[in-house]
Structure 1
Amino acid sequence: MSIVTRSRQIFSIVQKSDKNARLYSSISANGPSEPVISSSILGNQPTSSIPPPPESAEAGSVGGKPWSFLKLTSIAALTGGVATAGYATYAYTLEEVDEKTKAFRKSAKLPDGIDLSSFDNFQAMLKSASMAVPAKLIELYLELRASTEEHVRGFTEPSSEMLLPDLHPLEQHVFTLVLDLNETLLYSDWKRDRGWRTFKRPGVDDFLERLAQFYEIVVYSDQQSMYVDPVVDRLDEKHCIRYRLSRAATRYQDGKHYRDLSKLNRDPSRVLYVSGNALESCLQSENCVPIKPWKCEAEDTTLLDLLPFLEYVARHNPADIRPVLASYQGRDIAKEFIERSKEHQRRRQEQKPQGRLWRF
C-alpha cells in the first residue's frame, strides 16, 4: 500500500473520532431528551443507603407531645374543678362556701400602691397572679350558684313569706283552721264513660257553717289554682272559707308538695291543720289533726264527729294548741275526746257535794 492511501485512512479515523467527541460533548451539556435507564433496569439496582427525608406527619409528632400534654392537663383540671364544685354544692350551703373561700379570694387581690422595684413585692405580685384565676372561678361559681338557687327557689318555695294577710286586731284570739281539700272535704274520681266528677263529703256543709262562727277557715291544697278555685266556689256557697291556698303556696321537697304552716303569717300556737293525709302532707306535725281519708264512703261521719272537739277548743281558748294535740297523738281525736268528756263528767259528779236532806 502506498503512503498516500495509508495517510487517507488515518485521516478518516481521526475525523470520525472528532465527530464522536463533539456528539458526546453536546449530550453532556444539554442532557438527554428521554430517560437513559428503563424501569426494568431500575428494579435490579441496589437500594441507595441515603435515608429519605422525614415525612410531615412524623415532623408534627415531635411538636404534638407538648400539645397533647397541655390538653390532658386542661381536661384533668376541668374535671377536678367540676368535681370540686359538685361536692361543694352537695356538702355546703352557698353561705358556707362564701365564708370558707373569702380569705383565699381576698389574698388573690394585689394591694394598692405596690412598688415593683422591691423583690418581695414582685414575689407577692407573682403569687397573686397565680391565684387570680382560681379566685375568679370561685367568684363565678358563687354567682352561678346564687342565680340557680334563686331560680329553683321559685319552684320549690312558697310564693310568699306571708301567705295570708295580717289578722285583724280584734281577731287575735281567733284560731286558724286549715283544711285540706282532696280526701278531706271532697273526693275527685275519674271514669272513662263520664270523665272527672267531684263528690262532697257527708256533713261538709254543716261542718263549715258551724265552725265559721269560731275559726278563720283556710283551704290548703297542692292542686293548681285553676282547679281549686272553681271547686271551692261550688263547695262553699255560703262563703264560710276566707282564704284559698293552692300549689304555688306549697313547698316542693323530695318530690312532694308540702303545706308549710310557718308561712301563713299566723301564730303557730293557734293553728290547726285537719287532713285525711295530715302527717304525710304537712311540715308541722305538731299542728296536725289527722282524720280518716274519705274515698266516697256513703256512711262516713268523720267531719261531724270532729265538731265537738273543735268547738270545745274554740270556746275554751287554750294558750297553745300544740300540747293539746300532742296529748291525742296516735289516737282518734274525735273518739278520744268523747271518752275524756265522759270521764270528766263522771269525776265532776263524784266530787259534787251532797245536798242537805230536808224532811217534811
Structure 2
Amino acid sequence: MSLVGRSRQFISIIKRISKNPRSYSSVSANGPSEPIISSTIIGNQPTSSIPPPLESAAVDRAAGKPWSFLKYTLIAALTGGVATASYATYAYTLEEVDEKTKALRASAKISGGSDLSSFDNFQAMLKPAAMTVPAKLTELYLDLRASTEEHIRGFTEPSSDMLLPDLHPLEQHVFTLVLDLNETLLYSDWKRDRGWRTFKRPGVDDFLEHLAQFYEIIVYSDQQSMYVDPIVDRLDEKHCIRYRLSRAATRYQDGKHYRDLSKLNRDPARVLYVSGNALESCLQSENCVAIKPWKCEAEDTTLLDLIPFLEYVARHSPKDIRPVLASYQGHDIAKEFIERSKEHQRRRQEQKQQGRLWRF
C-alpha cells in the first residue's frame, strides 16, 4: 500500500475514535483493545443517585449521641432540682433549710494549703470545685425563697408588729375593747333596686358613749380602709372610737382574714374582743366575747345587755381577763353575768341575815 493510502486509513481511524470514544481507549497497530469507560461519562451522571458513604452517617450518629446524653442529663438534673426545692419548701422552714445546708455551702469554700504537695492540693481543690454548683444553687434557692416569703408576708401578715401606738402611762390600767364592725355594730345590705345600705345596730350609740368612759375602744374589720373609714366617721359622731384597723392589719390564713390581737401592742391580759363572729375571725379565742350576729333584727338588745358585764370588768380590773372569760365559756355572757350577779346578791343577803359579811 502506498504512503498516501496508509495516511488516509490512519486519518479515518482517528475520526472514528473521536466520534465514538467508548469504542477505543488507545490505538495501536494491531487494532483496538477492550473498551474502557471514560471519566467524562462518570462525571455527567446525576449526583443524587449516589448513596452517601456509610462511614459519614455513622460519624453523624456518633456525634449526636453526646448532645442527646447532655440534653437528657440537664433535663433530669433540672427536674430533680425542682422536685428537691419543692419538697424543701413544703417540709421545712427557711431557717431549717439554711441550717441543714450550711455544711454543703461551706464545703465549696475549702482551699488547699501552701504546705501541701501538688497532688494533695489538687485533691483539696477537687471537692470544692465539684460542690460549687450545688452550693451556688442552694444559695440562689435561699435568696429566692427569702425574697418570695417577704413579698408574701406583705399580703398575709399584719402591716406592723405594733398596730397601735404605746398606751399613755396614765392609762396602763385601762382595758382595750376591740369591736368588730360588720354584724356587730352595723349591717350592710345590698339590693338590686337600691344598691348598698348600711344599718346601725340598736343601742350602738349608747353602747359606745357609755363604754368610752372605761375603755380604749378599737374597731377591727377585715374590710378595706376605704370602706371602714367613711362608715366609722358616720357611725361615731362623738369620737368614742380611738383607732380603726382594716384589712391591712389582719392576718390572711386559710383563705380568711383573721384579727391578730397579739399585734395590737397591748397587754393580752387586758384585751377583750367583741364580735358576732368572734371565734371564727380571731386567732386569740381566749380574749373573745362572742355575741349574736346582727342581721337587721329591729328588737335586738344585745349591745345594751352586754354593758353591765363590760362595766363590771372595767371597774374591778381583774389582773387577767382571760380566765374570767374562760369561766363563761359555753354561756351567753350577758345573761350568765346577770344570773351570777343575782346569785351573789342572794348570798350577801343571807350572810347579812346571819350577821356575817361575805366579801365578793
Quick check: TM above 0.5?
A: yes
User: Residue type matched to 2:260 in 1?
Assistant: D
Distance in 1 separating the partners of 2:264 and 2:51: 88
User: Residue type matched to 1:19 in 2?
Assistant: I
Distance in 2 separating the partners of 1:316 and 1:270: 12
Distance in 2 separating the partners of 1:24 and 1:332: 131
Aligned with 1:207: secondary structure? Answer: helix
Partner of 2:177: 177
Q: Give yes or no for contact 1:221–1:246 (8 Å, CA) kept in 2.
A: yes
Partner of 1:349: 349
Distance in 2 separating the partners of 1:215 and 1:57: 90
Q: Over residues 203-233 of structure 1, what are the superposed CA-to-partner deviations in whole Å (9 max), with x where a residue is unaligned?
A: 0000000100000000000001111000000
Distance in 1 separating the partners of 2:162 and 2:41: 100
Residue 60 of structure 1: how far off its partner (Å) = 2.6
Distance in 2 separating the partners of 1:196 and 1:52: 82
Aligned with 2:62: secondary structure? Answer: helix
Q: Over residues 294-321 of structure 1, what are the superposed CA-to-partner deviations in whole Å (9 max), with x where a residue is unaligned?
A: 0011111100111111011111111100
Change (3 A) 1:116 1:54: farther
Aligned with 1:352: secondary structure? Answer: helix
Partner of 1:75: 75
Distance in 1 separating the partners of 2:81 and 2:41: 67
Partner of 1:23: 15
**2:148 corresponds to 1:156:** no
Partner of 1:45: none
Residue 348 of structure 1: how far off its partner (Å) = 1.3
Percent identity reads 82
Partner of 2:108: 108
Aligned with 1:190: secondary structure? Answer: strand
User: Residue type matched to 1:221 in 2?
Assistant: S
Q: Over residues 19-72 of structure 1, what are the superposed CA-to-partner deviations in whole Å (9 max), with x where a residue is unaligned?
A: 23322554659x99x979x99xx9xxxxx9x97424977653221111001000
Partner of 2:86: 86
Q: Give yes or no for contact 2:112–2:124 (8 Å, CA) kept in 1.
A: no
Partner of 1:3: none
Distance in 2 separating the partners of 1:354 and 1:157: 59
Q: Give yes or no for contact 1:291–1:302 (8 Å, CA) kept in 2.
A: yes
Aligned with 1:300: secondary structure? Answer: coil
* Counterparts of residues 124-135 of structure 1 (less than 5 Å): 124-135=124-135
User: Residue type matched to 2:84 in 1?
Assistant: T
Residue 112 of structure 1: how far off its partner (Å) = 6.7
User: Residue type matched to 1:284 in 2?
Assistant: Q
Partner of 2:293: 293
User: Residue type matched to 1:299 in 2?
Assistant: E
Partner of 1:222: 222
Q: Over residues 160-183 of structure 1, what are the superposed CA-to-partner deviations in whole Å (9 max), with x where a residue is unaligned?
A: 110001001111110000000000
Q: Which segments of 5 or more consecutive residues in structure 2 lack a partner in the other structure?
A: 26-36, 356-360
Partner of 1:199: 199
Residue 15 of structure 1: how far off its partner (Å) = 4.7
Partner of 1:136: 136
Residue 234 of structure 1: how far off its partner (Å) = 0.4
Q: Give yes or no for contact 1:276–1:293 (8 Å, CA) kept in 2.
A: yes
Distance in 2 separating the partners of 1:114 and 1:319: 68
User: Residue type matched to 1:22 in 2?
Assistant: I
Q: Give yes or no for contact 1:116–1:122 (8 Å, CA) kept in 2.
A: no
Distance in 1 separating the partners of 2:244 and 2:4: 137
Q: Over aligned residue pairs, what C-alpha RMSD do you find?
A: 2.6
Aligned with 1:165: secondary structure? Answer: coil
Change (3 A) 1:120 1:348: same
Aligned residues: 336
Q: Which sits farther off after the overlay, 54-63 or 321-330?
A: 54-63
**2:310 corresponds to 1:318:** no
Distance in 2 separating the partners of 1:57 and 1:223: 71
